[in-house]
Structure 1
Amino acid sequence: MNNEILPHEEVINDTLNHFSGKFENIFHQDNYDHYRSAIHDTLDLVGTFLHRNDKPFSGIEAKTMKKMVQHIDLNQKLSSYEEVLKEVDEIYVQHATAFHLPQYVAHLNCPIVIPALAGEILVSAINSSQDTYDQSAGGTFMERKLIDWTAERLGYTTESDGVFTAGGSQSNLMGLVMMRDVFSQKNLNHNIKQDGLPPEASRFRIFISDKAHFSNSKNASIMGLGEKSIVKVPTDNEFRMDITMLQKYMKREILLGNIPIGIIATAGTTDFGNVDPLEDIANIAAQHNIWMHVDAAYGCALLLSAKYRHLLNGIEKADSVTIDYHKSFFQPISSSAFIVKNKRELRILKHHADYLNPAEMDEEEIPAQINKSIIQSTRRFDALKLWFTLRMMGQEQLAEYTDRIIDLTKDVAEMITENQEFELLTHTDLSVLVFRYLRSDIEDLNALNLHVKMKLFYSGEILVASTKVDGQFYLKFTFLNPITTTEDVHQILNTIKKHGEDFGTTN
């Protein structure tokens, strides 16, 4: 074997030869022109998406879409970015939902702000992993700064802490894990992380409203508590957790020999956009000395609003909170967080690995965010997108967007109420309206409104959501776009009426 070191010129030539062939697709300083060209071509397709779409959806049927994708042979590569982008345009971009259009009023998908997209370029290209300092450096402290910034708006002190997560369901899972493990340690002197579930776990009970997010039941199942551990408390006439019923259900479970370990309040329900009575729930949690978690995945937008912040009064008393920046802070997916009031409680989640965060590591000298994460080791630097947003826009502009959306929703609620051809089910704290179209000659309103929704969907002109309340089918507006106007909604309502009038004649 020849161990002779190659002359400097030969080393350079060898490197250039490598990158002119099989390594030309690696992100590297010698391939920057290649990277820039690829990004430039892709940006052109983004521009096409924006300028081509005048409705939120193409209306393509799933069976057609499936056939278009299935026939592609992934073992046969294409010869150019032009071919790749043409293919992706045909099977994805042309049929992608355009959340930025005012005619999209369906789910909790917000339009996204441009500073966050600028940040996304760096997040993807540099590809830092947020689990340890040696993989992220400044990213570690930037994420921590944004967690502290969020905690301050919650009304927490410097004793709080948290971590960015992949989404609200994961943050809610972390809230449940903390609730279960803290209770077991403090009340049963049992360490679940070390010893598994205690015998009493089969009697653990967690109280949520019957309009809370479905992730709570799924998370309880994952944690080994079973869906039976979730006690769904009835809501009042405005679909907020009924405090009287909460007290009644807790008393009932205790009499049955079960053990309340926590309450999950919702700040912005998916179906109605309403906020549970946080102050009252916090007081009841304190009386029973149990954990209170707030799922504010949707309602976190109120944290920035001087006009509507009072709707979250009491959230500062919660032990933990779920935040979804990608719902209410106009961030690209994913951008979420889990925040705890007392950072010492996070020690429950810590697990030492010699190759990442060995026990002898000084956390003050070399911090590791993985100590706060429950199921993610490798984790994107999603916090950078929010950093770009705040530094370019400021929280005041984000708050203005939120205020405009809520004000619009109030105007639309009045518009629907005053129109005899529509029935508004309830008002909202945030920006969801549940309603249905009426026709005096039609008895089956469920079929009528389902017909309207499907006509809208397959025409692609307008996307609305739907839900069922007490077995009745309702249409649902979800407003998250500050560009949407009352005139836009007026046109949407007229289109709904047009399809409603066709019911019975086009079937």
Structure 2
Amino acid sequence: MANIIGLMAARNAMAGVDLRQEGVDAMPQPLRFYASDQVHTCHHKAMNLLGLGKKSLCKIPSDDAFRMDMGALKAQIRADCDQGIKPACVIATAGTTNTGSIDDLSAIADLCAAEGLWMHIDGCIGALIVLAPRHRHLVTGIARADSLALDLHKGLQAPFDVGCTLVRDRRQHRITFAEDAEYLQKMSRGIAAAEFLHDYSLDTTRGFRALKIWMMIKEHGAQKFGRLIDQGIAQAQYLTGLIADQPLLDQMAPTVIDIVCFRFNPGGRDEAALRELNTEIMLRMQETGVAAVSDTTVKGRHCLRVAICNHRTRRMDLDLLVQEVLRIGSDLLATPIAAESGGR
């Protein structure tokens, strides 16, 4: 929802007409939004909810570091202009779900400023790295966004759910959502004297999600959470080193933040066989409670995905993770998976 709030403000700001009165059919040109091929699927949902359709979101190829290819982005913007499509917004990602990669936020901000585009940053995973003293440089340029989405239940390890949207232009934010109702009138005194928060979002009634964040920061301070983010990234780098030391393990993407992608690879197996092998390793670790590792596919290759998001994680836990991947993988090489899994 945090991303949808920001993108709805972007759509209305760039449409060229008053969408609240006229609707999307009145737009003089179709709008184009841009994101890397690593973008979260919530942005597909956003395009549908905004009445634009998935075709309005153009996926730009990512480079070897899984960051948006700036040359390809510029070329696509030129091509869309030539075809009568209006470039509207670039969705930069600060921490992709697959690999934790971070787009070049400063370069994207420069491009948006030059082309007159809205810059939205999906920082749900990585925005709060700004609090981390040793790694805040990774999100240089984040302050230049027109809108920013972040999940405080990730970076601050708060209980679910608590998303947040920041929009630079307060007026544009408000006129995107505010409606006048006879039963919701402002007063100079009393409980209706304060500004109505529902003028800035889709919800009229909602829980007090911000309270737990306020309490956490009051109790611990923002600096402590910054140190925990640094700790998670350092642990991811430690795990990356363990993987590099094992000839049967392949790292599948650069480690940028607290996400590590790797797989067990004994050699001599095609992609389908490696997927089956590593999926079984993942399931056995989940079922025994050794580790809550997930999986994903990057550039067409399946792998295990470790997201270090618990402040209680220690290096010995990562040592055990690698040991178990190697042990289970070796066991599976000696025993057919189908016979062991019971057709799972």
TM-score, length-normalised on structure 2?
A: 0.91
Partner of 1:175: 6
- Residues 320, 458 of structure 1: alpha-carbon distance in 2 compared, 3 angstrom cutoff: same
Shift in Å, 1:472: 2.1
**Residue 384 in structure 1 maps to residue 215 in structure 2:** no
The partner residue of 1:208 within 10, 16, 35 is 35
- Asked if 1 retains the 8 angstrom alpha-carbon contact of 2:148 and 2:166, the reply is yes
Q: Which of the numbers 231, 239, 246 marks the counterpart of 2:58?
A: 231
Letter in structure 1 aligned against 2:182: D
Alignment counterpart, residue 114 of structure 2, candidates 279, 287, 293: 287
**2:242·2:322 contact (CA, 8 Å) conserved in 1?**
no
Instruction: Give the letter aligned to residue 299 of structure 1.
Output: G
Look up the equivalent residue of 2:331 and give its one-letter code: D
Which sections of structure 1, spanning at least 5 residues, go unmatched?
1-169
CA distance in 1, matches of 2:64, 2:299: 13
Structure 1 residue 430 displacement after superposition? 1.1
Of 312, 316, 320, the residue aligned with 1:487 is: 316
Amino acid at match of 2:196: A
Matches within 5 A, 1:356-395: 356-357=184-185, 365-373=193-201, 375-395=202-222
| Structure 1 position 195, deviation (Å) | 1.4
CA contact (8 A) 2:133 2:227 kept: no
Q: Is the Cα contact below 8 Å between 2:100 and 2:259 reproduced in 1?
A: yes
Question: Quick one: which amino acid aligns to residue 461 of structure 1?
Answer: V
**Rounded Cα–Cα distance in structure 1 between residues aligned with 2:292 and 2:100:** 18
Q: CA deviation at 1:421?
A: 1.2
Tell me how far apart the structure 2 counterparts of residues 201 and 451 of structure 1 sit (CA, whole Å): 52
- The residue number in structure 1 matching 2:342 is none
Match of 1:478 among 307, 310, 317: 307
What is the rounded CA distance, in whole Å, between the counterparts of 1:279 and 1:361 in structure 2? 43
Cα offset for 1:313?
A: 1.2
Deviation at 1:308, TM superposition (A): 1.3
Within the alignment, does 1:353 sit opposite 2:184 as a pair? Answer: no
Pick the aligned partner of 2:79 from 242, 252, 274. Answer: 252
Q: Tell me the distance in 2 between the aligned counterparts of 1:283 and 1:457.
A: 44
Shift of 1:500: 0.8
Shift of the alpha carbon at 1:405? 0.6
> What letter is aligned with 2:184?
L
In the alignment, the residues of structure 1 paired with residue 136 and residue 242 of structure 2 have an alpha-carbon distance, to the nearest angstrom, of: 25
Instruction: Find the residue that maps to 2:302 and give its secondary structure.
Output: strand
Q: In structure 2, what is the equivalent of residue 309 of structure 1?
A: 136
Task: Name 1:423's counterpart in structure 2.
Answer: 250
Distance in 1 separating the partners of 2:243 and 2:301: 18
Superposed CA RMSD: 1.9
Q: Which aligned pairs between 1:94-493 and structure 2 lie closer than 5 A?
A: 170-184=1-15, 188=16, 190-200=17-27, 203-348=30-175, 349-357=177-185, 365-373=193-201, 375-440=202-267, 442-443=269-270, 444-493=273-322
| 3-state SS of paired residue (2:24) | coil
Q: Deviations over 1:249-287 (max 9, x none)?
A: 111222222111111100010011111100110111111
The answer to whether the 8 A contact 1:434-1:476 is kept is yes
Displacement of 1:364: 10
Go from structure 1 to structure 2 and tell me whether the alpha carbon gap of 1:438 and 1:314 turns closer, same or farther (over 3 Å shift).
Answer: same
Larger radius of gyration: 1
Pairs aligned (count): 332
Deviation at 1:440, TM superposition (A): 3.2
The SS at the match of 1:239 is coil
Aligned partners of 2:323 and 2:290: how far apart in 1? 12
- What are the ranges of 5 or more consecutive residues in structure 2 without an aligned counterpart? 340-344
CA deviation vs aligned residue, 1:358-385 (integer Å, no higher than 9, x gap): 5x87999432111111x21111111111
Secondary structure of the structure 2 residue equivalent to 1:463: coil
Range moving further from structure 2, 233-242 or 451-460: 451-460
Aligned partner letter, 1:377: T
**Counterpart of 1:503 in 2: which secondary structure?**
helix
Q: What SS does the aligned partner of 1:434 have?
A: strand
After TM superposition, give the deviation of residue 200 of structure 1 in Å. 3.6
Alignment deviations for residues 423-443 of structure 1 (CA, whole Å, 9 cap, x no partner): 001222211111110113545
Q: What does the per-residue CA deviation read over 1:64-122, in whole Å, with 9 as the maximum and x for residues that have no partner? A: xxxxxxxxxxxxxxxxxxxxxxxxxxxxxxxxxxxxxxxxxxxxxxxxxxxxxxxxxxx
Identity %: 28
**Structure 1 counterpart of 2:83, one-letter code:** L
- Counterparts of 1:327 and 1:202 in 2: how far apart (Å)? 38
Given the two structures, how large is their TM-score scaled by the length of structure 1?
A: 0.63
